[in-house]
Amino acid sequence: MKEIETTFNQLKENSNLGDYILFANSIKGRNYPDGSITKMFNKLVSKEEYELSDKSLLMKHLFKLSANS
């Protein structure tokens, strides 16, 4: 999980994109477990960047994104 955070922070230093996009880029194609993705999403992505009612859909998308290379 530390790898997700490290990648996220490196991308954030060099970009002005939002947290969700940076997080998605951090996990893309890396086959992380769903639990790790959820935990790190909650830690790294600002709640101001998404609607709580959309979180389930966002997480499903991230799980698929991580599984696909």
Going from the first residue of the chain to its last (69 residues), give the mean pLDDT of each consecutive group of 10, the final group possibly shorter: 94 95 97 97 96 97 92
DSSP helix/strand/coil, 30? coil
pTM value is 0.93
Q: What is the predicted pLDDT for the residue at 32? A: 97
Q: What is the predicted pLDDT for the residue at 11? A: 96
- The domain segmentation of the chain, as residue ranges, is 2-67
Q: In this structure, which amino acid lies at residue 9?
A: N
What are the CA-CA distances from residue 13 to residues 7, 35, 49, 67, 69 (Å)? 10, 26, 18, 25, 24
